[in-house]
Structure 1
């Protein structure tokens, strides 16, 4: 049931001379371009005559060229197609091609060969060196594709020819070729808008990958073909008659080809049977002008009742590959479902030829150039993204996901169309707009209403991202069960951020924390490499990063050191304690330099906690008030009453908790307070008080909390976790 595109290859012989061959093909070229094609044909035939084993290469080149003729490609592309199999198998070099034909053909063939990087990257047995080589090759391939997209057309045609002829190969080979076609090349043809190749690729690969289902659908199509054709002809007559009444006489109304893979995919997606698929009975209406498209749509909806949610206007909102058409489904005669596509004849030509249509127009035609750029803009963007990707498998995933997934099309507030995979969220959207927008994303609005970051975007929606200054991504976003991201682009950027963080901030923070604790516990000499290896790290830097990221607690580290030194290990104590003496008089909590036992209290204005730099202030009759060193009260006192300031430091802290005030600003949503309190519960931090106020105009909420923690390390971790909550725009500690 697979219908190979009509071609004239069966009428072509490897014994033909160039002029005879050109006379047989339906596309005619000017004399200068015809000379280029003849030269390529003559060279390929000469190489074949010198090497008998190259006959199949010559035959394959003519079949590739014949496939491309129907895409109306230019002479250089056709010349490259003819000679490419010879070049691919090493019968002729790039230098010889440039000398005997021309440098442009040689460059094009070299670019087609570079696309083998796709197959190489699919290998799962890459070592570090080969992984880097394949990554570099993949980037070169993308660069070549962007530089001259004609090479993609040659590669698509070459792979299609291989698939057509794979029937004679072993079953395992057929499946391998079909899988590669289904996974990579058919979606690539779709992204470039080349429908003429896409349909045949999909149906042929489906035949080998799902033979039983292919045969079942093919049989059903064949059994009911006569009845279906009779039904469709009745529909065509009704539409033609109504179009004529409106004065639309030049319309082409026809039954549309039935593609088995498309039917199977819709059956699977909608979970319905063969008879319920609208594609089985399909009609296409081609008119001259866009207004006639909508007039024809009115006629169709006037004749039959349309099915809700089955109408798509791809003229007003084209697909990312440039596809434009009206799609509708109706309850036709005898109550049978019927799918109808309506578009102009130019739109139809573009949908069949895709990027290949670019060469059918004169150079410099602005409208056509703009359409061409739109079709390959995703390639340019993918190339930009790949500059930031270092892992070969991640790179292939990016490429595969970009070409293969169903897409949605949403808008920025400025009206720019953003192409995303189906199921994408505001976080995916944010990272697509800009990496920094993604990192700082804390909420989103759709049509002016705030939505959660896990909201699944829909085509046609306008998305506004709400950001915060100095934000950062959340590790929760990477958990697939949480539903924050769908695109490999967003996942890659988040991974990259944490990789950089681990190398820089986490390692630096971990070193500081470790040094401070070693000093506090009186450990002067510690073998840090041996310590790191106890935790299965290869270096001290990895240990620092794990401590800084909070993956390893300092109690574990200190206990490990004590164990190595033969000292008793201190049990880990519960850190969930009520702070019933937040203002305490304990001399164990604060040490006052040069003074014995003295009454101390924690200042209520800045509420320092262990780890804060602190300074004491001698009060009148109430002992020493302990402030944060950056407290405005202390800064003022240092100028006005410096004699009352005294040096203090933290003493034993084992049984103390300290209160701290924090301020959270967020865009209001359902479940926000629950998410905030969950952070504290998980961290075993008690909340002493909480006040909230809502600004209905900005849809924001201000939350002030007083919590009880043991030290600044824990406070910092809690603040970081709060800042990662969806819709939270700012978290800060109050002075």
Structure 2
């Protein structure tokens, strides 16, 4: 463990103007606050925050950040309070410490809720000051280094999985690749112990059998570049075990088949030398196709810059080479932390602590739209994908997306409002479906309309957390609005069934009795039948909702119109009977579900009548019904062009085929079930008559 003077001296070495008194006070306060607490390995607990502070001194961070590291567990694990931290160390340090502190005392029912609440608070604090993230990553890195001391294997695996899913990607997103690699390696050892042991053993055998191949290749590379007049520093290493295992999984190959397990780094003086070195290397060894990436002209979203290439070296060995300048290397090692100019570097890069990266803003937007802890965790993990592609707007703006992203993801990455209004997309000048998967270098133009709104179907092909969160937020809002609208109609029916006229203020009093916040909440509860009609009647007019009274009331005062409501939102059209406007319909109500609309003669209703939780409501289409999907069974002659005749007749009647299924086929006839979009029952009847009048068709029935 670092002693007090050693820690202070480390900070003063790179920042002579640091507040030495602040660091000394933080050290003494944390030592006394943690007292006799012990870690799993038996060391004093106080050793942990000091080691975390030591990790951050390697990044040359400012004195407030180092003090935060020393104090980061005092609020969570001791009797110290934020107010006490603020009075002793200032508002800035107190805010940072509070941002790092977990919500360990929250009352949550599930592990996912606790994890989500911790992540929610952490991300909000991080968006306010990125130094919160730097302290948290150092904290997690030291915890991973000592993870093997925890006796329970399931706890070790849970912590390792959280590190792999959240903290390693966070380190990658701010360019701290050394942190990311070490966390991944330590987590991999716990999550896949057999694979970790196998790969590390094979790497050791390879090193013993092949001698110092890395040193030989590295010296040859340095000699090649120096002969071309390029001053360079070469370092080589084997790829870390998790990276090797990931490649084996992605390519479905064994360790012996993996050719690129060595990586070299060439540090050259200038950006121009990077491209000169690349040319020299490619003239000497053939490049592995598809393995060149220019992150200098198109940096990664986290600011990472470098040239990457893979070449076929001697004995068909594939070798990865990264070429960068010293400044690029500093950013690649320490990412955002490398931007701190430490005050003493005149003219150097500097980033204010409150600076936000756009991806952090995306994460905060996800916080506002997630409906559940599970959804928050899912979307946050999606937003931190590591494998990314580059696509461009028509104006040349670079948009980075996860590999596998679609056109709708691109729209939401540009702006949430653009995503909401998307009606189509052009990729490289060609109109494509919104589900089209984008490739590196695609130019994407989004077509929009103010009349458009996010669709349920988008959820099936959106891949980014930002897109999914925005679509789900809009759909939830639309669903609530329509449920409130339907609930008002059902409420009017309930009021009509009361034995007397309601008095003034009855609705407000009912809300108090039902302990509901407002009128829309009541209407939504009625629509989803989370409140039985009898309970609503009783709340509106005490004594009217009793079982005897409720049975004496007529079931409905009149049919309720579903005009203006959208199928699939406030109600669902039953798949068993496929009702369309013009059919006589009824609604099946079950607790906490939308109304299911059936035709009055639907055979499936007999099963529903036996269900204890089912309730009925008389429905009508209203004057402005917008059509529906009917299902017909068509028996046609087994001859060439039969399906073409069907399609011609259906198209001629201005109907649209949604789905077609071949059910039976013999030498003379085959039977197809066809779902068709029609305006109403008369439209459907004309279509059926037209099909029956065709020589190719033997029989048509509505299913």
TM over 0.5: yes
Q: Structure 2 residue aligned with 1:551, among 553, 566, 572? A: 572
Task: Give me the whole-angstrom Cα distance separating, in 1, the residues matched to 2:266 and 2:101.
Answer: 40
**Per-residue CA distance 1:47-91 (angstroms, 9 max, x = gap):** 46x657697221111211122222222222112212323343114
Give yes or no for contact 1:115–1:155 (8 Å, CA) kept in 2: no
Structure 2 residue matching 1:368: 3-state secondary structure: coil
Which range moved further: 392-401 or 342-351? 392-401
Partner of 1:203: 185
Give yes or no for contact 1:57–1:85 (8 Å, CA) kept in 2: no
Partner of 1:417: 398
Q: Structure 1 residue aligned with 2:340, among 351, 354, 359? A: 359
The structure-2 alpha-carbon separation of the partners of 1:266 and 1:357, relative to structure 1 and needing over 3 Å to count, comes to same
Higher relative contact order (CA 8 A, sep 6+): 1
Partner of 1:221: 203
The structure-2 alpha-carbon separation of the partners of 1:447 and 1:471, relative to structure 1 and needing over 3 Å to count, comes to same
Partner of 2:91: 103
Partner of 2:261: 280
TM-score, normalization by structure 2: 0.69
Pairwise CA distance, 1:273: 2.5
Give yes or no for contact 1:306–1:329 (8 Å, CA) kept in 2: yes
Partner of 1:496: 473
Say if 2:139 is the partner of 1:153: no
Q: Structure 2 residue aligned with 1:44, among 30, 36, 44? A: 30
Pairwise CA distance, 1:374: 8.7
The structure-2 alpha-carbon separation of the partners of 1:28 and 1:512, relative to structure 1 and needing over 3 Å to count, comes to closer
Say if 2:319 is the partner of 1:338: yes
Task: Give me the whole-angstrom Cα distance separating, in 2, the residues matched to 1:498 and 1:311.
Answer: 42
Give yes or no for contact 1:194–1:352 (8 Å, CA) kept in 2: yes
Give yes or no for contact 1:432–1:490 (8 Å, CA) kept in 2: yes
Matches within 5 A, 1:170-569: 170=151, 171-226=153-208, 228=210, 230-249=212-231, 251-362=232-343, 368-369=349-350, 376-478=357-459, 480=460, 484-505=461-482, 508=485, 538=531, 549=570, 551-552=572-573, 557-558=585-586
Partner of 1:62: 50
Unaligned runs of 5+ in 2: 500-521, 537-559, 574-578, 590-598, 604-620, 626-646, 661-675, 687-703
Give yes or no for contact 1:410–1:462 (8 Å, CA) kept in 2: yes
Pairwise CA distance, 1:176: 1.7
Task: Give me the whole-angstrom Cα distance separating, in 1, the residues matched to 2:279 and 2:195.
Answer: 37
Pairwise CA distance, 1:232: 2.6
The structure-2 alpha-carbon separation of the partners of 1:543 and 1:61, relative to structure 1 and needing over 3 Å to count, comes to farther
Pairwise CA distance, 1:173: 1.9
TM-score, normalization by structure 1: 0.66
Task: Give me the whole-angstrom Cα distance separating, in 2, the residues matched to 1:46 and 1:551.
Answer: 63
Pairwise CA distance, 1:266: 1.1
Give yes or no for contact 1:73–1:360 (8 Å, CA) kept in 2: no
Unaligned runs of 5+ in 1: 1-8, 519-523, 562-568, 574-608, 614-670, 685-704, 716-735
Give yes or no for contact 1:121–1:392 (8 Å, CA) kept in 2: no
**Per-residue CA distance 1:681-721 (angstroms, 9 max, x = gap):** 3499xxxxxxxxxxxxxxxxxxxx99764379999xxxxxx
Q: Structure 2 residue aligned with 1:571, among 598, 601, 610? A: 601
Partner of 2:62: 74
Structure 2 residue matching 1:222: 3-state secondary structure: helix
CA-based RMSD:
4.4
Larger radius of gyration: 1
Pairwise CA distance, 1:40: 2.0
Pairwise CA distance, 1:398: 1.9
Q: How many residues align?
A: 558
Task: Give me the whole-angstrom Cα distance separating, in 2, the residues matched to 1:188 and 1:228.
Answer: 36
Partner of 2:657: 681
Give yes or no for contact 1:57–1:86 (8 Å, CA) kept in 2: no
**Per-residue CA distance 1:102-137 (angstroms, 9 max, x = gap):** 3322221111104769x99894575xxx99xx65x6
Say if 2:133 is the partner of 1:162: no
Partner of 1:710: 681
Task: Give me the whole-angstrom Cα distance separating, in 1, the residues matched to 2:263 and 2:383.
Answer: 29
Pairwise CA distance, 1:175: 1.1
**Per-residue CA distance 1:219-275 (angstroms, 9 max, x = gap):** 1111111455633333223322232233222x1111135311111111111222224
Pairwise CA distance, 1:344: 1.1
Task: Give me the whole-angstrom Cα distance separating, in 2, the residues matched to 1:313 and 1:332.
Answer: 21
